[in-house]
Amino acid sequence: MAVSKKIEGMITQSSWIRKMFEDGIRLKQQFGAENVFDFSLGNPNVQPPRELLKAFLEVAKDERPGVHGYMPNAGYPETRLAVAAQLGREHGVKLGPEHIIMTCGAAGALNVILKAILDPGDEVVTPVPFFVEYRTYVDNHNGVTKLAKTKSDFALDLWAIEEAITERTRAILINSPNNPTGRVYDEASIRALASMLEDKGKKFGRIIHLISDEPYDKIVYDGVKVPSLLKAYRHSLIANSYSKTLSVPGERIGFIAVNPEADGLELLLGGLVMCNRMLGFVNAPAFIQRVLPKVLNAKVNVEEYKRKRDLLCDGLAAHGYEFTKPEGAFYLFPKSPIADDVEFVRALQKKNILTVPGSGFGAPGYFRIAYCVDDSTIVNSMKGFGEVMALYR
């Protein structure tokens, strides 16, 4: 056998997102790109800020000896200092560079965290819907994923989370703004969750970490704010990335922020740095690390994503689709008009509309639309969305 049975099974049940993206490539070759409406992949289409492009050119001219060499595994001290200062201002928490580990994106950050904190069989609770790769990240490090339902509007259901917590729970993993729903978990819910985890930790005699995956924290709408985990709970860690806020997902740059009040802080920090190395990341990419301090106050034009959100929501509402309007990120998660979300997504595909079934996110009966696309893709897809809805109405 060329691969392990475990990996063969994962391939068989491979990510719907990538599958639809690959179908999109095939359909574009067959019908022309302008006739295919690809909402499958969350690949930012708003251009990076000009400050970033200018910083790229400045850093590329640096010819100092050793500038492309190894660095501390946690990242350049000056980069960590700059990230800590900005994050500290945003969260109202005193952070030093020692509380920041630069990583290969948020995905790298999450894998480093889970490697550092999980013993075999430890459980990680995550609200549903959840980002599709969470199960595999937890499994990578011999953990067990447990799911907790959310409310009808995708807000946190604290009772469901409490029901999922056992003596084997090591972490709660949340994603806010959420992929696929665009939901931002409010401050009251975060504080109530933190209080619950303090109580559960005392009951079971172990630390229960609260991990927040926040690559969309700057892409929020209508005055919504992403509450600070660092202020709410001492055993909190943030996994973040600049992929979405600067529109550079291919550069693979992110960070872990560790709460300075955490018990066993020095051991935790040491474990995270070691895991960054031992997982093979070694360190975050050097070039983009040297760029970051120059652009930490820059971000993409969020108003462009808001316009796309409103354009999509208005169009789908006119055709009878039901959904909760996103507060952040660039995803919409409407209800499928039939229980079989896979069948409905396939019906949309017949109109060259590519979306992703909610089943892939642990939420059958819904489907995800990534609206980080050209406005014309949204406008020109509406006829097909309407025709498919009419078939099932």
Give pLDDT < 70 ranges for the chain: 1, 11-19, 21
197/41 Cα distance (integer angstroms):
34
Per-residue model confidence (pLDDT) at position 18: 66
393/258 Cα distance (integer angstroms):
49
Per-residue model confidence (pLDDT) at position 249: 95
| Mode of pairing for the β-strands spanning 37-38 and 353-354 | parallel
Question: Crossing angle for the helix pair 375-392 and 341-349, nearest 10 degrees?
Answer: 120
352-371 per-position pLDDT tens digit:
999 999 999 999 999 999 99
| Mode of pairing for the β-strands spanning 209-213 and 169-175 | parallel
CA nearest to 276, candidates 116, 133, 70, 82: 116
145/362 Cα distance (integer angstroms):
12
Three-class SS of residue 163?
helix
- Give strand ranges (E) for the chain: 37-38, 100-103, 123-127, 144-148, 169-175, 209-213, 236-241, 254-258, 331-332, 353-354, 356-357, 367-370
254-271 per-position pLDDT tens digit:
999 999 999 999 999 999
Per-residue model confidence (pLDDT) at position 27: 74
CA nearest to 102, candidates 304, 267, 306, 240: 240
Return the amino acid letter for 352.
N
Q: Are 327 and 221 in contact (CB under 8 A)?
A: yes
Three-class SS of residue 73?
coil
Per-residue model confidence (pLDDT) at position 354: 94
Per-residue model confidence (pLDDT) at position 15: 63
Q: Are 117 and 170 in contact (CB under 8 A)?
A: yes
pTM, two decimals, is: 0.95
What is the domain partition of the chain in residue ranges?
Answer: 5-48+300-392, 51-294
CA nearest to 231, candidates 254, 208, 256, 260: 260
Residue 122 has a CB neighbour count (10 Å cut-off) of 18
47/340 Cα distance (integer angstroms):
36
Per-residue model confidence (pLDDT) at position 323: 98
Per-residue model confidence (pLDDT) at position 16: 62
Return the amino acid letter for 320.
G
245: Cβ contacts below 8 Å, ≥ 6 apart: 215, 216, 217, 218, 219, 299, 300
Backbone phi, then psi, for 338, in 5-degree steps? Answer: -125, 160
103/237 Cα distance (integer angstroms):
13
Specify the CATH number for 5-48+300-392; select among 3.30.470.20, 3.30.565.10, 3.90.1150.10, 3.50.50.60: 3.90.1150.10
Q: Which CATH class is domain 51-294?
A: alpha beta
End-to-end CA gap in the chain: 47
